[in-house]
Structure 1
Amino acid sequence: MATSQSNKITLKGSAQIIVEYLKYGINSILFQRGIYPAESFENAQQYGLTILMSTDPKIQEFLVNVLRQTEEWLAKDLIEKISMIITNAHTKEVLECWDFKMQLDATNVECEGGDATKIACTKDMKRIQNEIRDVMRQISATVSYLPLIEAICTFDVLIYINKTCDTPEKWKETDAAVIQNSQVVQLRSFSTGIHKVDTVVNYKMTT
């Protein structure tokens, strides 16, 4: 999917790998945190793991639209991070924020003619998937230490872009998610060889 000749991963290919991770990661978080009923998820095999994926058509459509735009912007090196926020449906208070931070790893890439869109890197796909598998395992394990979410919640996805660009219709700018009295946990990182991706969860401490 994300390789070209000589097993080189391009900027576009790196974006595809990251978007695939986001798709499975966000679905896993929705299941692990109990945002929607367990019966609305089904098993999928990816990265050598069984991952629970939402079967709700509205959630699927939302994620397809968000991740399609994410891939387009990421392939142009426009994105700084993606945040998935979990919000109390009644009070609108942000209870959790999952940050997926992306940055170019300039030490590993080749660049043709100084064009940032033509960078490439050689990294074994199996190694990348093993790194992602370790992160996915950590996401699944978070339920053991994150506070129990008892309120009815909703989720949203925020995309932080580092340059001015056109946004799709019906999209709107919004403020960054802020959690009062928060705790931060850094999960493992993975690298496509072009992008390094850090996953961090910020959550509200119970009082």
Structure 2
Amino acid sequence: MSSTQTRNAITLNGSTQLVTQYLNFGINSILYQRGIYPPENFKQEEHFGLTVFVSTDEKIISFLQSVLGQIKEWLLKKKIKKISMVISNVVTKEALERWDFKLQYEGCTVENVNADDVGKKEIKVIQNEIRDVLRQICSTVSFLPLLDCPCAFDLLIYAMPDCEVPDQWDETAPCFIANSQELQLRSFSTSFHKMDTVVSYKAD
């Protein structure tokens, strides 16, 4: 029984993997659902028991791999508080929408981090929770305002001051949306990381 429980339980390393997978598929879903890039630039894949659209653009794939790789490293050390995906008007640079992925840390302390530490939650349960949030992201397109202008996106990482930032990254100010409304999506927890997803958008 104990070996079965260990096999089904999440480790800290596995938790960071699931969180970064969620961010990857969540960001890709937003890019597709919000029409930031043409639909022909995406392909369908099955993840978490759900059909997810992921980008086939090499530049986007490379960008996300680089950022998510750094995020994974910082997650293990509890160095990240929030990741924000900002969608802005290409011409005016105005921020139109912001997706905040807010992190809370559960379980082990920073002083006693072990990537093989085992949590108390089954992987299947966590995967189901992530699937429900991804499903919500896909459904938001029905009530978020239409983005009727060329748009671009960027990722902001709110990290601890003692983080070593890659040379090619820039520091930036927080992004605020004037006259905004917020929509809180479901959260999920791995027993090491709890993530809340909130979208802020420019009200008409």
Q: Bin the TM-score by the shorter chain.
A: over 0.9
Whether 1:100 and 2:101 are equivalent positions in the alignment is yes
Taking the aligned partners of 1:201 and 1:116, their CA distance within structure 2 comes to 33
Q: Which residue of 1 aligns with 2:153?
A: 155
1:9 Cα deviation from its structure 2 partner = 2.7
1:165 Cα deviation from its structure 2 partner = 1.4
Percent identity reads: 54
Structure 2 residue identity aligned to 1:183 = Q
Taking the aligned partners of 2:112 and 2:186, their CA distance within structure 1 comes to 27
Q: Which residue of 2 aligns with 1:76?
A: 77
Taking the aligned partners of 1:35 and 1:45, their CA distance within structure 2 comes to 21
Whether 1:10 and 2:8 are equivalent positions in the alignment is no
Q: Deviations over 1:35-56 (max 9, x none)?
A: 0001110000001110001101
1:110 Cα deviation from its structure 2 partner = 5.4
Q: TM-score, normalised by structure 2?
A: 0.92
What residue ranges of structure 2 are gaps of 5+ in the alignment?
none
Q: 1:168 aligns with which of 166, 180, 190?
A: 166
Q: Which residue of 2 aligns with 1:38?
A: 39
Structure 2 residue identity aligned to 1:157 = L
Dislocated runs of 4+, deviation >3 Å: none
Structure 1 residue identity aligned to 2:134 = M
Q: 1:139 aligns with which of 137, 140, 159?
A: 137
Q: Which residue of 2 aligns with 1:50?
A: 51
Q: What SS class does the counterpart of residue 19 from structure 2 fall into?
A: helix
Whether 1:183 and 2:181 are equivalent positions in the alignment is yes
Structure 2 residue identity aligned to 1:30 = L
Q: What SS class does the counterpart of residue 162 from structure 2 fall into?
A: coil
Structure 2 residue identity aligned to 1:136 = L
Q: Deviations over 1:95-146 (max 9, x none)?
A: 00000011112xxx356xx833135412111100100011011000000110
Are residues 161 and 110 of structure 1, via their aligned partners in 2, closer, same or farther at CA, if it must alter by over 3 Å? closer
The RMSD of aligned alpha carbons is 1.5
Structure 2 residue identity aligned to 1:176 = P
Taking the aligned partners of 1:85 and 1:10, their CA distance within structure 2 comes to 31
The count of aligned residue pairs is 197
Q: Is the 2:10–2:122 contact (alpha carbons within 8 Å) kept by the matching residues of 1?
A: no
Q: Decide which moves more: 72-81 or 5-14.
A: 5-14
Taking the aligned partners of 2:108 and 2:71, their CA distance within structure 1 comes to 23
Q: Is the 1:9–1:122 contact (alpha carbons within 8 Å) kept by the matching residues of 2?
A: yes
Q: Decide which moves more: 195-204 or 120-129.
A: 120-129
Taking the aligned partners of 1:162 and 1:110, their CA distance within structure 2 comes to 18
Q: TM-score, normalised by structure 1?
A: 0.91
Q: Which residue of 1 aligns with 2:88?
A: 87
Taking the aligned partners of 1:203 and 1:30, their CA distance within structure 2 comes to 15
1:32 Cα deviation from its structure 2 partner = 0.3
Taking the aligned partners of 1:17 and 1:163, their CA distance within structure 2 comes to 25
